[in-house]
Chain A
Amino acid sequence: MTNRWPSRDWLDQLGVGAIVLVAIFTLSLLLFPSLIVVIISFDTRAFLSFPPQGFTLRWYEQVFQHPVLVGAMWTSFKVGVIVTTVCVALGVPTAIACVRGEFRGRAALSIYVLLPHMVPGIVLGIAVLFTGALFGIGPSIWLQSISLSVFVLAVMVRTVMSRLQRLDPALEQAAANLGASPMQSFTTVTLPLLLPAVLAGSVFTFVEGFDNLSVTIFTHGFRDRPLPIELLAIVQQTSSPMVAALSGVQIILALVAMLVLAMTIGLDKVND
């Protein structure tokens, strides 16, 4: 075969090589922008330039001494915690009902719960803003948190659902056979087994609470402005290395979040 078609094998190698080259190009496109930002955040010069001419941690100090930024980070941290708490409280039971439920309309329930995440964030944000105004509820950290919770609830439900579906029912059966009440088998067997998925889901809900702009921009409080809003304003005003340092802080947070994902469900299960 290969003797009759000497060029076929060669062309095949070339084609696969070309695809791999495109893949490597794409991967470097994903890596380099963030890498350059991190490099620039250590530059000694006060203006944006490349390549850097020194090393300093001054910009990082500035970020953490900037009262507005520290306040915004604290606000966003609170939003992240509230969103995660609400999503765990609402999402875990919902996932159980979606997987274990024996009632009519179970499929409809999972669509209903997953739907808000498919809607563009700005549409949800405006809808909640208008509705709040109709009932005299102005934008605030609470309006922002509840609308973000609804927006990302789907992620928590999906992560827990996929873990539940793969859970071996024999384990709970064994607990029941050993004399555990349903309550006991739930708290001692099911819940610990679900914990990694809940943690992984929490990573996503926290990050969304901390970083989301599309829903946040319409629902955040004007007194306690969250980080994405301040960040957007700062990026539009200046490109000082302090912005790079602030970006560096966020990139480090993202890496920590990824580490948690790797340790809980494994990175290859993220989209299951």
Chain B
Amino acid sequence: MTAASAPESLIERLLSGRGIWPAVPAIIVLLFVAVIPFLILLSLGISDVVTVRGAIVSQEFSLRHFSAALADPLYWTTFHRSLTLAVTTTLLCMLLGFPVAYLYLIGGKWWRRIILVLTIAPILTSGIVRTYAWIVILGGRGVVNSTLIQLGLIDQPVRIINTHWAVLIGMVQIHLPIMILPLIAAMSRHDPRLDEASANLGATRLGTLRQVILPLAAPSLGTGAALAFTLSYTTFVVPQLLGGGNYLNAATMVYEQVVYALEWNKGAVTAVILMATCLLGLVVIAGLTNLASAWTRAGR
């Protein structure tokens, strides 16, 4: 009895899940495939490396690559372009996405179903497929040009693809679902009695939206913005395919340095700068979200 209960109690202790044990395998894997690689990436950014056929043969501490990057005007224009594009994308996603969440709140069962399907299906679809759709629409013989020609509005196809506008349109459409999803979650947690109370106190529907719904949705708006910003700041699919290969953003720059030019130090530096600026952007978004919540709370 006692002999049998000893190993069982060990299993019991493991299964009860009270200890940290169940998480140990994941902790170890993350250590080797995430934590250590990040430290190595950082170390490559601040050192001078000699590689022979993909293997590192020597590594010495040096800030040469960092200072070279900061002195290079190409870096500044590229990061400025990426940042502007990501911020514009995020703002447009908020402007277009929030009304969908509002419709989810006030709409009936069928509206809710339609919104859920149209938001979740794109998230499960490959980003390349969704970008290809815009090539079909905006391309030289694409939907927009064919339609305009058939209507007799233009004789020659207009160049839309491979422009800044094509990239922006694609970016907004592709990152919309990731912005809408947290908002929908907030709306399904929203207590309808609050809106009734607001209406009973004489508020109009727009007044309720501004003073009750929007303040309560502010944290989710922040979550959505953080997701849309991170993804749009670090994507290369859209700029690569809709910008015609010559629209360089930070992500495409990293890719070219690492995969084509095989300049690992440069690539590491760019990746580190990309991650640092991305984190900075997230901190700013978190700060703005807190400010917005505090401000709306003070307003009431």
Contacts and interface: CB of A to CB of B under 8 A. Distances in A.
B79 interface: no
Contact of B268 (A11, A112, A126, A183): A126
A122 B129 contact: no
A27 B275 contact: no
Contacts, number: 296
Contacts of B290: none
A239 to B, nearest CB: 6
Contacts of A33: 130, 133-134, 136-137, 173
Contact of B146 (A49, A93, A100): A49
Nearest to A104: B20
Interface in B253-271: 254-255, 258-259, 264, 267-268, 271
B34 A217 contact: no
A128 B114 contact: no
A211 B126 contact: yes
Kindly state the interface size class of chain A when it binds its partner: 35 or more
A89 interface: yes
A46 interface: no
A23 B124 CA distance: 21
B136 A251 contact: no
Interface stretch (B60-68, B190-198, B228-236, B291-299): B228-236
Contact of B181 (A31, A186, A250, A270): A270
Contacts of B131: 235
A244 B133 CA distance: 8
A97 B134 contact: no
B118 A27 contact: yes
A267 B113 CA distance: 8
* Interface residues of A, dominant DSSP: helix
Contacts of B27: 109, 112-113
Nearest to A121: B234
B41 interface: yes
Instruction: List 6 tightest A-B contacts by C-beta distance, closest first.
Output: A93-B22, A33-B133, A127-B37, A120-B234, A23-B99, A97-B23
Interface of A: 1, 8-9, 11-12, 15-16, 19-20, 22-27, 29-31, 33-34, 36-37, 40, 47-51, 86, 89-91, 93-94, 96-103, 105, 109, 112-113, 115-116, 118-124, 126-131, 133-134, 136, 138, 146-147, 149-150, 153, 157, 181-183, 186, 203, 207, 211, 213-214, 217-218, 228, 231-232, 235-236, 239, 243-244, 246-247, 250-251, 254-255, 257-258, 261, 267-268, 270-272
Given A90-B29, A133-B55, A146-B33, 10 more contacts: A48-B142, A86-B29, A112-B27, A122-B271, A123-B274, A123-B275, A126-B41, A236-B241, A247-B133, A270-B120
